[in-house]
Amino acid sequence: MASDVDRAPLVGRAEQLATLRSALLDDVGPGQTAAVFVTGESGVGKTRLLREAGQRLRAGGALVLTGACLDIGDASPLHPLLQALRRFDAELAASHARTSSAVGGLLRMFAEETAGPDGAGALLERVSRGLHLIAEGRPLVLVLDDLQWVDRSTRQLLLYLLAGLGDLQLSVLAAVRAESLQGAHPLRRVLTELRRLRSVRVLDLAPLGRADTERLATEIVGGPLAPEAAESVWQRSGGNPFVVEELARDVRDGRDGVSDTVREVFLSRVDALPEPAHAVVHAVAVGVEPVAHWLLAEVTRLPEEELLDAVRAAVAHRLLVGDDDGYRLRHRLVAEVLAHELLPAERAALHRRYAEALTSAPAELHHARLAHHWRLAGEPGLALPAAVAAAREAERLHGYAEAHRHWSAALQLAAAPATGSSAAAGPLDVDRAELLRNAAEAAHHCGEHARALTLVEELAARPDALTACALHIQRARYLAAAGRSAPAEAEYRRALAAADCSPRERATAAAHLAELLLHLGRYADAGNVAREALTLAAEVEGSVSEVVLASMALGFSEAYLEDPDAGLAVMREALDTAERAGRPEDVACAYLHLAELLTGPLNILEEGVVVARRGAERVAELGLGRTYETRLLAIATNGLFRVGQWAEAEKVVAAALRHRPSGADAVELLLARCRLSVGYGDVVAADRDLEAVATVLAGGGARHVIPMLTLRSGLAMWQGRHDLARQAVQRGLTESRSDDVGILAALVWHGLRAEAEAHASRAVPVDATAVRRLREVAERVARKSEHAARPVRDVVDGFLTLCEAEVSRLDRSDPQLWARSVAEWDRRNHPYPEAYSRLRQAEALLARRSRTATAGRLLRESYRIAQALGAEPLSAEIRTLASRARVSLGERGGSAEGRPATGGGSAGDELAALTAREREVLEAVAEGLTNREIGQRLFISERTIGVHVSHIFDKLQVRTRVQASAIFLRSRAE
């Protein structure tokens, strides 16, 4: 169904096409992701640009999947992806049987997916695996049109894949209509966040300039335009290519000047249509695009021949376009013109015909479309079952936002006075309480807590509602999820006092209340309620979840109230109970809480790490790998980082990331890995993880912003970019919740350190205002932490000591303050900040030219720790200071820079400068392994191996792998 619409040349977009090709294909390295969001007004040529770019990317060797979002909004989860896969499947059906089977497999996965405990995260993982198979090693490009209508699930999938969590080389090219970003569109904030990333571009497609407008008009007319005509096209179109085309065609066809606006152009064309074609465009306008040919035939009830003629006429008048999957209106403007033409009764009749046609022939988006058409046909009785089916369908694919939308529609339909054919049947026969319960749960799952509460209120007012106790518990859950702790507490207490409360419900309410009180910092209360919950649960068969939850609350509250042994004992017992009962979720939960208790408030890191790792293994045996194993491994990683076992931490985090976690779990792990990379000085890897975190956080998750910014500033400092470090801290200070004293203290330390480093470098002036503000925040943190629990105070005190010492660096660094910091961190068993503090203490002593012997000892000790960690940037700073002060860092024979002398000393000495990790890498290099192979063996990324290798070359002063291997083998021979 070709029209001359497609034949119009693409004018003035050569530069954009080149940009798209390089941004989405040529500049994307293996395993990397990229995205371009094309925004622009209607008619500026987004769809056209997408099509051309898609063709070029395909020609460039990429696998291009094309889909579009639907204007019925959050109707169906992941619709554009499904559509793209079906189109691709159809294209390949004949030619490539093998690839087609991969596509078919992914489509089947969608069809068979059921809402399981692992939820949306597991679905994301399966989608990315499926795409991986389909791509067969080719770069994959996902082209999505009309992204302004994207559903929430697709939005989350895009962020997941773009963050690199799917382990897939993927580019996304999407068009967004600029007008729809006005107002409160959910994409707005996402785009604001993404715009800052290097891998993402937002391409604002502007109207054509005067010269290009004339070129386009000339092409369409087939010859130069008269100056007045050219001027008129330019003035009236404002350079909008769609309008230029339409006006130029009128000029060509001698209708110039008849119509002043494009609207009138279309109006006159609609008027000129023959009757059957008229019916066709109206039918398409009422349908959900694209409208398939068979469906159009059913709705218009035209005989085949006549229908084809009518369609051809509508296409010739450039009102309709046809595609393999059906017909669409040529442009939104056409829809607007047509909207005023039909009478409401005519429109309702068309909707009825759609609904009838779809009832007899199930098609894509069956239920959602059926509900849509029956509702607009004025048949609530028929729309209701379709809406319920659509809601269940959405829940099956974990699309709770979409499900909530359908449940709400169902509630409205159930309340509507019966009209149409169902009117005779009397009021609708529905279980309204059931609808309310479902709608409330869906609302709760997608974060619409206020809506969930409203629905519960309506439920409570009904005679067939749940018991009073059950209602209180439900309300309390929703309130707690919304972060409204005080009313949530009141609801739990009401539940406990309710006369109709079953023993089981009482135990549940008490356990959850104890957890809530713990979050509120009311440890004594939490402990009392937890004890009560344990007593209640003991009398109820099978209430292991309650036992685990209550034990956790009791364990933490005891720990905070400074009786750690009692707390640990309770938690260990809960673990035994869970193991005896054997429900996997309970066992996983118990391990999680025990590990958190040990590594968190108790600061018994080594044991915590062991528990976390053992728990991870156990949980994997029980088949709960994805969520719980990931979380346990994140705890292990952070513990290992703090006790200074970085190489081990790196292995654990790599293992955890193999589960392709999503959401908050993924962010935790990426931040943990980034912390290691910052410590190692691996700028590229750290940067990549920070970008990935920012991508995931664009979808929500404010509580991880401060740790991300803290790492960003830490990284910037190692790069000597104190200005960037300052910026990150400033943003953090204005966005931190003031009750997070622990993470705030770490941020403030980074800020003061940035100013101190700026002072020392003399390259960037110190920002006096920033220093004043940081000191104020530090004082505030100190004040607030006075009332905090001991474990919190402990963390804060460590950072505040560092803060005070950094402030002294701005004047005359005080070795006493640094000595205190050394002692503080040594007591906590955190070698990294300890080594840093030793360096600064030595520096302060040397600057005062006093006790140089002590300074030398401090530097050597600091260097030993830094080297053992593999903390390269810190080691480099120590070496610089040592060389300036002519302090020898080696035990024997080392040069001033702390490097073993090459050539002179023995080969064993030559390896002395290498960290444990670097030796491992070197050993593998000597075996002749490639970086990729070494990465696989040591569970770290290929890129990190590259960094290690370059450090090895640097320290051994060699240039090739052969030379490095030779030194290694020589040392082994001795």
- For another protein, the binding residue among 207, 527, 615, 798 (CB under 8 A) is 207
Helix, strand, or coil (residue 489)? helix
> Which residues from 53-82 bind another protein, rule CB under 8 A?
71, 73-74
Return the number of the residue (116 or 483) whose C-beta is nearest another protein: 483
* CA angle in degrees (0–180, nearest 5) for 835-634-696: 105
Q: How would you write 848-895 as a 3-class SS string?
A: CCCCHHHHHHHHHHHHHHHHHHCCHHHHHHHHHHHHHHCCCCCCCCEC
Least gap, CB of 957 to another protein (angstroms): 44
Name the residue type at position 956: L
Considering only residues 850 through 889, tell me which ones interact with another protein, judged by CB under 8 A.
none
405 interacts with another protein by CB under 8 A: yes
Q: Which of residues 34-53 bind another protein (CB under 8 A)?
A: 41
In sequence order, the β-bridge partners of residue 900 are 894
| Residue number, 29 or 483, with CB nearest to another protein | 483
Which of residues 95, 114, 235, 960 is near another protein by CB under 8 A? 235
Nearer to another protein, 71 or 91 (CB): 71
Using CA atoms, how far apart are residues 748 and 69, in angstroms rounded to an integer?
44
Footprint (CB under 8 A) of another protein, residues 692-711: 700-702, 705
Q: Could you give the count of Cα atoms lying within 13 Å of 31 in the half-sphere of its Cβ? A: 9
Contact between 816 and another protein per CB under 8 A: no
**Cβ closer to another protein: 395 or 872?**
395
Phi, psi of 576 (to 5 degrees): -60, -45
Smallest distance, another protein to C-beta of residue 354, A: 18
Residue 259's SS3 state is coil
**What residues have CB less than 8 Å from 836, skipping those under 6 apart?**
862, 874
Backbone angles phi, psi at 899, to 5 degrees: -95, 140
Q: Is the torsion defined by CA of 964, 966, 968, 974 positive or negative? A: negative
Q: Residue 742 is encoded by which pair of tokens?
A: 């622990």
Closest by Cα among 928, 836, 918 to 881: 836
Q: Are 439 and 407 in contact (CB under 8 A)?
A: yes
What's at 82, amino acid-wise? L
Nearer to another protein, 247 or 865 (CB): 247
Instruction: Report the residue from 18, 90, 93, 206 that binds another protein according to the rule CB under 8 A.
Output: 206
> Is 478:453 a contact under the CB 8 Å cutoff?
yes
Stretch that binds another protein, among 184-192, 322-330, 431-439, 509-517 (CB under 8 A): 184-192
Asked if residue 186 binds another protein (CB under 8 A), the reply is yes
Closer by beta carbon to another protein, 452 or else 882 = 452
Report the distance separating Cα 313 and Cα 279, nearest Å.
11
> Binding another protein by CB under 8 A: which of 29, 61, 137, 183?
183
Instruction: Provide the mask over 737-756, with x wherever binding to another protein is found by CB under 8 A and - wherever it is not.
Output: xx------------------
Q: Which stretch binds another protein (CB under 8 A): 186-194, 541-549, 655-663, 962-970?
A: 186-194
Maximum CA pair distance of the chain?
103
Please report the sign of the dihedral spanned by the C-alpha atoms of residue 765, residue 767, residue 768, residue 772: negative
The stretch near another protein (CB under 8 A) out of 242-250, 253-261, 444-452, 503-511 is 444-452
Q: Out of 2, 29, 95, 182, which residue is the one contacting another protein (CB under 8 A)? A: 182
- The residue within the footprint of another protein, chosen from 196, 827, 884, 932 (CB under 8 A), is 196
DSSP state of 218: H
Q: Find the shortest distance in angstroms from Cβ 147 to another protein.
A: 13
Q: How far is CA 856 from the centre of its chain?
A: 47
Q: Could you tell me the smallest distance in angstroms from the CB atom of residue 405 to another protein?
A: 6
Contact status: 226 vs another protein (CB under 8 A): no
* Full 3-state SS string of 383-440: HHHHHHHHHHHHHHCCCHHHHHHHHHHHHHHHHCCCCHHHHHHCCCCCCHHHHHHHHH
- Asked if residues 405 and 75 have their Cβ atoms less than 8 Å apart, the reply is yes
CB closer to another protein out of 213 and 645? 213
Provide, rounded to whole angstroms, the least separation between the CB of residue 616 and another protein: 28
For residue 706, give both structure tokens.
């401060």
- For residue 609, give both structure tokens: 């790490």
> Which residue in the set 300, 736, 915, 971 belongs to the binding site for another protein (CB under 8 A)?
736
Q: What is the DSSP letter of 148?
A: G
Residue keyed to tokens 């499900």: 403
Q: Does 238 bind another protein (CB under 8 A)?
A: yes
Which of residues 56, 86, 129, 185 is near another protein by CB under 8 A? Answer: 185
SS3 288: coil
First to last CA, the chain: 80
Q: Is 227 exposed, middle or buried (0-12, 13-18, 19+ CB in 10 A)?
A: exposed
Least Å distance, CB 773 to another protein, is 5
Counting contacts by CB under 8 A, is residue 263 touching another protein?
no
Q: Are strands 326-329 and 170-177 parallel, antiparallel or unpaired?
A: unpaired
Among 483, 853, 892, 959, binds another protein (CB under 8 A): 483
Q: Cβ of residue 466: shortest distance to another protein, in angstroms?
A: 24
Stretch that binds another protein, among 447-455, 579-587, 611-619, 924-932 (CB under 8 A): 447-455
Contacts with another protein: how many residues (CB under 8 A)?
Answer: 55
Q: Which is nearer to another protein, 234 or 836 (CB)?
A: 234
Binders of another protein among residues 106 to 165 (CB under 8 A) are 148-149
- Pick one of 56, 126, 129, 188: the residue that binds another protein (CB under 8 A): 188
- Span interacting with another protein, options 602-610, 775-783, 850-858, 901-909, rule CB under 8 A: 775-783
Interface residues toward another protein, by CB under 8 A? 41, 71, 73-74, 148-149, 178-180, 182-186, 188-190, 192-193, 195-196, 206-207, 210, 234-235, 238-239, 401, 405, 447-451, 482-484, 700-702, 705, 727, 730-731, 733-738, 773, 776-777, 780
